[in-house]
Structure 1
Amino acid sequence: MERIAFIMYLHPGNQFEYHKRHNQLWPDMKQALKEHGASNYSIFLDQEADTLFAYLEVENKADFDKIAETDICKKWWAYMAPIMKSNPDNSPVAKNLKQVFYLP
């Protein structure tokens, strides 16, 4: 199992909308995450900085990364793009974090 952590950034004023959309995560998106090996996926919000910290575990990172090629993921990114910093392909601007400690 591989652990992945990264930071993403909300546009100011969109904390409630981000939370609402994730509480209503589309079943097809949830299924795609599972099919690509995601588990124990959590996203935390720094309310003062509009910054999101995401953590998930995957069976294989290379297999998980293929989710970006799916239509449902591209549709989700387009849906989320107006409320967070996004790249030209609508993927969220994300800063990958390096693990420096782990206590099993």
Structure 2
Amino acid sequence: MEIKTEDYGICYDPSTATVSFIGSLRLSRPQEYAPIVQLLEEVADLAPAKITLNLQQLEFLNSSGINMLSKFIIAVRKKARVQMAVQGSQCIAWQGKSVKNFQRLMPSLQFELL
């Protein structure tokens, strides 16, 4: 599973159950996030023991993107048997503030800034 555009790339590695985000997600409407939501839902439907979102190379994510990831985390939280981890970068300012808020949505979420 992979999505590639000029501005961003998202790929799923089934061997580690990791979804990696690269580039800049500046989509203007929530509807434009539909292909990404579909990819994330497909990953969740596989029901791995743990899903990791690797955001280390995601330079920018607008509020619609943060909302999309928040909804995904809530959906995973409802599947009580699936754990969640988010990896971010200390070098990208928005991640320290915004991504840490995901833990409020799912207290068991593991968050690490690398």
Higher strand share: 2
* Fold match by TM threshold 0.5: no
Larger radius of gyration: 1
TM-score tier after normalising by the smaller chain length:
0.3 to 0.5
**Highest RCO, 1 vs 2 (Cα 8 Å, sep ≥ 6):** 1
